[in-house]
Amino acid sequence: MTLAETIYQHSLNLPEPAAREALDFIRFLESRHGIADETKRAAALKKLSGIRLHFDGKPIPSRDELYDGARG
């Protein structure tokens, strides 16, 4: 059994308020070690990479092209 599985098995024995407290502590540890931030950042970047913007009816393939066109 892995450590994560052991933690999970122990969490099943906790009453609801204690389980919420344990989850809050795990989230605290994730943020302290930068794990939650990296996971959220990776998910956000993946979602953003699929977004295609249009300006004046024309697609904007990159931010640099938008700025180059605005600069004249």
Tell whether the model's pLDDT for residue 31 goes beyond 70. Answer: yes
The pLDDT confidence band at residue 63, using thresholds 50, 70 and 90, is low
Per-residue pLDDT reduced to its tens digit, 32-60: 887 777 777 788 778 877 777 676 777 76
The stretch 9-35 carries a mean pLDDT of: 89
Containing domain of residue 25, as a range? 3-71
- Beta-carbon contacts of residue 35 (< 8 Å; ≥ 6 apart): 29
The stretch 13-17 carries a mean pLDDT of: 93
Structural domains of the chain, count: 1
Tell whether the model's pLDDT for residue 27 goes beyond 70. Answer: yes
